[in-house]
Copies of this chain bind each other. A is one copy, B any other.
């Protein structure tokens, strides 16, 4: 199926060894304790790209650094900007990892390591794809790499960076591989991502922890109160109750609903794959529609009171929760964050003080499915998988995508190499070796196809 010369030229052992070196660096952006490791990962990528003849540098930001590299071959040829991120999610809960998160291990043809699929493995596949083409000669297009270290914390520094480097980053298309294909044998082009509003809810009760015997029945309990608040954020139909939350939401088109309904998907298999008996959600929408095209709200973490062994009869002074809302076209993260900030204090039970602190957000985005770039991507995928790609959206959020279209005015092309079963953000995150290799080939073919599509 695949173009033999490139496929046979690929040195799979070396490609694996190099990725392993990158995966061994615990570049967790959310935890200040790992700050130096994030820098180490950036410098590692800069060195690698320099050896490929790129002008590569590590640019400082108020937070974690960005890696920028370019190899400009022919002004007549299109320019492709490849975006990815080298930071990773925290490893917690560590005890659930079968092998250490930062000691990559191959089991059953899969690489197990934090960041293996999200996004070191997928981003580095493009670096190797470029290397593969270079082993045959010059690149058919001008290539720029922008690799950031803050994606998992909402990319706080990249927007000012894009504004400051607008001209330097000019490109005809931006390629991103930071998500999942629809299914193992189904090459996928993603034309939309959900947005995000991530907040923390903090509830304060008494000015100190209280004995639940001496005060129980009269003192406000911030944990009970927090639970009531969270319970009130969604109704029996699985809809978010925040007033104005659904204002402006773009309804799914009949064409989209039909296209997605035709995809090989089984609710039963989907539920079985995560080991649950049911898939609760917003009434009136299919599972794919709820994940790709509808907004939702999930608590990502909660804490309060005594969590240790045994029992402690205490009424805690405070409790808190991390809450994320996935947004769709028509919703603005800042507006949604403002809405929940106003709503939570209104639904807080008597006796407690509840406040919402905004964390970060990301704009929802949707692209046209008939552009030349998307057609080129489809041809590249066809050369690897021997079939046309399906057009999907993703429930995930890539906060900077909106910034790319707003600031760089450039079309973004999502070509995903991973799978949901890779379990990004979970213990035992993995990336199939086969998908890594196909990613490298797809990247190389895509650059060739984009050259011809111009």
| Residues of chain A having any CB pair with chain B under 8 Å | 29-32, 89-90, 92-93, 96, 152-154, 180, 194, 196, 198, 205-221, 223-224, 226-228, 230-232, 234, 270, 274-282, 287, 290-291, 294-296, 298-316, 319, 321-322, 324, 326, 349-352, 359-360, 394-397, 420, 423-428
Q: Is the Cβ of B180 less than 8 Å from the Cβ of A92?
A: no
Q: List 7 extra interface pairs beyond A213-B396, A224-B298, A224-B299, CB under 8 A.
A: A29-B310, A96-B209, A206-B276, A209-B425, A211-B424, A213-B397, A312-B322
Q: What CA separation (Å) do A303 and B321 show in the bound complex?
A: 9
Contact, CB under 8 Å: A311 / B220: no
**Pick from B282, B304, B311, B359: contact of A311, CB under 8 Å:** B359
Pair A309/B214 contact, Cβ less than 8 Å = no
Can you list 6 A-B contacts (CB < 8 A)? A212-B425, A213-B396, A217-B295, A223-B230, A302-B304, A311-B359
Do the beta carbons of A395 and B217 come within 8 Å of each other?
yes
Contact (Cβ within 8 A) A221 B298: yes
Q: A218's contact among B212, B221, B287, by CB below 8 Å, is which?
A: B287
Collect the chain B residues with CB atoms within 8 Å of residue A216's CB. 291, 296, 298, 324, 326, 395
Q: Which residues of B contact A207 (CB under 8 A)?
A: 274-276
Q: Beyond A209-B426, A217-B282, A218-B287, is A30–B309 a contact (Cβ under 8 Å)?
A: yes
Q: A298 to B428, alpha carbons, bound, how many Å? A: 36
Task: Specify the chain B residue showing the minimal Cβ separation from A306.
Answer: B301
Which one, B276, B294, B420, contacts A214 given CB within 8 A?
Answer: B420
Per the bound structure, the CA–CA distance linking A308 and B301 in Å amounts to 9
* Cβ contact within 8 Å between B311 and A298: no
> Is A322 touching B311 in the complex (CB atoms < 8 A)?
yes
Of B212, B226, B420, B423, the contact of A300 (CB 8 Å cutoff): B212
A285 CB, min distance to chain B CBs, angstroms: 8
Q: Is the CB of A425 within 8 A of B220?
A: no
Q: Given the known inter-chain contacts A208-B274, A210-B274, A301-B304, please indicate yes or no for A224 contacting B230, CB distance below 8 A.
A: yes
Contacts of A326 in B (CB 8 A): 212-213, 216-217
| Shortest CB distance A422–B (Å) | 9
B227 touches A299 (CB 8 A): yes
**Assembly CA distance A232 to B280 (angstroms):** 18
Please indicate the chain B residues that have their CB under 8 angstroms from the CB of A230 in the complex: 223-224, 227-228, 231
- Contact indicator A311/B306 (Cβ below 8 Å): no
Contact B210 A426 (CB under 8 A): yes
Most B Cβ at <10 Å: residue of A89, A213, A280, A282: A213
CB distance from A34 to the nearest CB of B (A): 11
B319 & A324 in contact (Cβ 8 Å cutoff): no
In the complex with contacts A213-B326, A276-B220, A303-B300 CB distance below 8 A: no
In the assembled complex, which residues on chain B have CB atoms less than 8 Å from the CB atom of A307? 301-303
Q: Considering residues A32, A278, A313, A397, which has the most beta carbons from chain B within 10 angstroms of its beta carbon?
A: A313
User: In the bound complex, do residue B305 and residue A312 qualify as a contact, i.e. CB atoms below 8 Å apart?
Assistant: no
Query: How distant is the Cα of A21 from the Cα of B91 in the complex, in angstroms?
Result: 43
Partner pick for A306 among B223, B277, B300, B352, CB 8 A cutoff? B300
Choose one: B180, B226, B310; the contact of A31 (CB below 8 Å).
Answer: B310
Distance in angstroms between the alpha carbons of A258 and B84 in the assembled complex:
72
Q: Is the Cβ of A426 less than 8 Å from the Cβ of B217?
A: no
Chain B residues with Cβ below 8 Å from A90 are 306, 308, 310, 312
Check A302–B319 contact: CB distance below 8 A: yes
Q: Which of B280, B301, B349 contacts A350 (CB 8 A)?
A: B280
Given A196-B313, A234-B224 in contact, is the A276-B205 Cβ separation under 8 Å?
Answer: yes
Chain B residues closer than 8 Å to A294, beta-carbon distance: 217
Cα-based distance from A312 to B423 in the complex (angstroms): 14
Q: How far is the CA of A130 from the CA of B210 in the complex (A)?
A: 32
Residue from A211, A221, A223, A287 whose CB has the most chain B CB atoms within 10 Å: A211
